[in-house]
Structure 1
Amino acid sequence: MTKTAWVFPGQGSQAIGMGVDLLDIPEAKAQFERADQILGWSVAEICQSADDKVSHTLYTQPCLYVVESILADLLKSKGHRPDFVAGHSLGEYTALYIANVFSFEDGLRLIKRRAELMDSASDGMMAALLGFDRTQLETAIDQTPDVVLANDNNSGQVVISGTPVAVESILNQVKSKRAVRLNVSGAFHSPLMAEAAAQFKLVLDAVEFNTAQMPVLSNVDPLPSTDAAILKDRLNRQMTGAVRWREISLQLPLEGVDRVVEVGPGKVLTGIIKRTCPDLVLENVSSVAEFPQ
């Protein structure tokens, strides 16, 4: 029997116009309206803004969460259901919502505060490396203070995070086919986010987590769990912890998963997973037109 995992992308997958086709569906429109009341601004207007407001962290995270949640809810309403869920960075919040760990509204309030804190983080820098010697990279990180491996996406694609001096030092030491300095406000998924994480914990602690209806593979721990306390603890550690996506990808086949559906804009995660697990069936649902029959 085929086992399916739904995965939800994070920041970087947003695109102008995402989710616009959902506005013609009554239940989706109602969900947009609920989101607008919580946020105090229109998700649909931001997603359609020609000046790319949707790529501003403050807006990106709530918009992605809302669009992904609506797409997944519509899939569920048509009788589709995942056996496992996972999300990349902020996508983990959508995964937890779809597993009924918390309500759509509670998830959006968490994302709203998360986006505010991450947008206001001014210290730090992140850079993506593609095509590199992993041993050389890991050795350089071990020997360089104030920099960590923030996103381990697959064997040939990672993101490092830390102080500007430390990140630049790694880029100078490690040869790669391509190095990209990311346009972000801080050193996300690193110890430099400790202050923001401490503030966020106050909000997170107030939200009740329920037992997940299907196992969730978390960024900081790729082993699947349905335990509410474990899932909350993992989410609490996410802002300062690494996104261990390569390990999540490797875990899926071990759990018997043979089909992965990326729910949300773009095809970033299926592209990343393909390199690690080429035998998995990979599908995308980024719009109504892509809904399986």
Structure 2
Amino acid sequence: MTLAILCSGQGGQHRDMFALTGDAPEAAPLFAHAATLLGGKDPRNFARAESDEALHRNRAGQVLCTLQALAAAAALGDAIPPSAIIAGYSVGEVAAWGVGGLLDATVTLDLVARRAEVMNEATHTGDGLIFVHGPSRDEVDRLCECHGTAVAIVNPGDAFVIGGGREALSDFVRDARAMHARIVALPVEVASHTERLAAASAVFRQTLHEASVIFPPRTGARILSGIDAAPVVSPGTGLDKLAAQISQTVQWADCLQACVEAGATGFLELGPGHALSGMAAEAAPGVPAHALDDFRSLQGVRTWLTRHVIL
């Protein structure tokens, strides 16, 4: 039996995102370290007290989402089987390296803070992301070519995240709505996973040169690369892809399919939010899929893992 762990990207931050992990003693050092990256503010208080705008700023959002994944993994401990396959969505891919044991957890937090900084430095004013559902990939590609936007993430079921500048995205939305597409503006102020952030990929790769990678991962887990859904088979190639992911399309639909092909018998999204477990349920009907946010306690998560995934 194989558990697929899904590490969430930005967008699902909410005031109660640390409800299950915030008091876990195993995660206390992670919350303390994350506070040093948030100007001395305790992440739990930050999530509860700050404005939605502050909660979704690029740097804070990346730190908070990564912290939640790492804290959940620490709190669940050996309830997570060593044979797990781990995939991360956007910044969640860096979190996946920490959850899977390729990187020390505090190093992972430092890396995502730096990742956000180099992305901000490379970002043009007005850049952002939108979600579009309905048009086919060919139709979306034609709209992107016409308007100077790019496919940032490919999700299951003709659902895409599109990145670009404000005017280009506005033109894309106008034409996509004429095709009866469903459009959602995302609370992200960078054109992640597009060529507009090529400079950020280059700088982040230099940062990753200094990171100490534990390979093979001490957990025995299999970690997937977002840009091609292939497992990380060497530190150098894996780090190259991790840096490239900032400015290349994330093939999330392929990552979910890779989990299924690896024999996943259950999906657990570490959060925040439910977006990835929802996509997993759509991509693999019949395979149990839950988010940490679905449970009232960590013991409830452990019980579900024992009953539905591990045994």
Q: CA distance change for structure 1 residues 207 and 50 in 2, over 3 Å: closer, same or farther?
A: closer
Deviation, 1:66, is 1.1
User: Which residue identity lines up with residue 129 of structure 1 in the other structure?
Assistant: V
- What residue is the counterpart of 1:107 in the other structure? 108
Larger mean CA deviation between 161-170 and 88-97 belongs to 161-170
Pair 1:255 & 2:262 matched: yes
Pair 1:58 & 2:59 matched: yes
Equivalent residue for 1:238, pick from 236, 241, 245: 245
User: Which residue identity lines up with residue 24 of structure 1 in the other structure?
Assistant: D
Deviation, 1:110, is 0.7
Deviation, 1:80, is 4.0
**C-alpha contact (below 8 Å) 1:125/1:184 kept by paired residues:** yes
Larger mean CA deviation between 50-59 and 217-226 belongs to 50-59
Q: Normalization by structure 2: what TM-score?
A: 0.85
What RMSD in Å do the two structures reach over aligned CA positions?
2.1
User: Which residue identity lines up with residue 51 of structure 1 in the other structure?
Assistant: S
- What residue is the counterpart of 1:178 in the other structure? 182
User: Which residue identity lines up with residue 291 of structure 1 in the other structure?
Assistant: V
Q: Normalization by structure 1: what TM-score?
A: 0.90
Distance 2:136 2:164 in 1: 20
- What residue is the counterpart of 2:76 in the other structure? 75
Aligned length, in residue pairs: 291
- What residue is the counterpart of 1:126 in the other structure? 129
User: 1:1-293 maps to which residues of 2 (within 5 A)?
Assistant: 2-41=1-40, 42-52=42-52, 53-78=54-79, 80-120=81-121, 121-123=123-125, 124-141=127-144, 143-144=145-146, 146-174=148-176, 175-211=179-215, 212=217, 213-286=220-293, 288-289=297-298, 290-293=300-303
SS in 1 for 2:141: helix
- What residue is the counterpart of 2:307 in the other structure? none
SS in 2 for 1:185: coil
Distance 1:6 1:292 in 2: 14
Deviation, 1:39, is 4.7
SS in 1 for 2:133: strand
Q: CA distance change for structure 1 residues 22 and 261 in 2, over 3 Å: closer, same or farther?
A: closer
Q: CA distance change for structure 1 residues 82 and 98 in 2, over 3 Å: closer, same or farther?
A: farther
SS in 2 for 1:72: helix
**C-alpha contact (below 8 Å) 1:152/1:243 kept by paired residues:** yes
**C-alpha contact (below 8 Å) 2:56/2:188 kept by paired residues:** no
Deviation, 1:21, is 4.2
Listed one character per residue, the Cα deviations across residues 192-223 of structure 1 (whole Å, up to 9, x for unaligned) are 01222223222222112222332111111102
Distance 1:210 1:176 in 2: 48
Larger mean CA deviation between 49-58 and 5-14 belongs to 49-58
SS in 1 for 2:68: helix
Structure 1: state its 5+ residue gaps. none
Distance 2:15 2:233 in 1: 34
**C-alpha contact (below 8 Å) 1:18/1:67 kept by paired residues:** yes
Q: CA distance change for structure 1 residues 226 and 106 in 2, over 3 Å: closer, same or farther?
A: same
Q: CA distance change for structure 1 residues 159 and 77 in 2, over 3 Å: closer, same or farther?
A: same
Distance 2:80 2:203 in 1: 39
**C-alpha contact (below 8 Å) 1:8/1:87 kept by paired residues:** yes
User: Which residue identity lines up with residue 159 of structure 1 in the other structure?
Assistant: V
Distance 2:166 2:70 in 1: 35
Deviation, 1:38, is 4.9
Q: CA distance change for structure 1 residues 222 and 281 in 2, over 3 Å: closer, same or farther?
A: same
User: Which residue identity lines up with residue 201 of structure 1 in the other structure?
Assistant: R
**C-alpha contact (below 8 Å) 1:153/1:246 kept by paired residues:** yes
Q: CA distance change for structure 1 residues 76 and 279 in 2, over 3 Å: closer, same or farther?
A: same
Listed one character per residue, the Cα deviations across residues 180-200 of structure 1 (whole Å, up to 9, x for unaligned) are 233322211100012222232
Identity %: 23
Listed one character per residue, the Cα deviations across residues 12-66 of structure 1 (whole Å, up to 9, x for unaligned) are 1111121144333322223211332355422122111152332222211111111
User: Which residue identity lines up with residue 137 of structure 1 in the other structure?
Assistant: V
Distance 1:229 1:190 in 2: 22
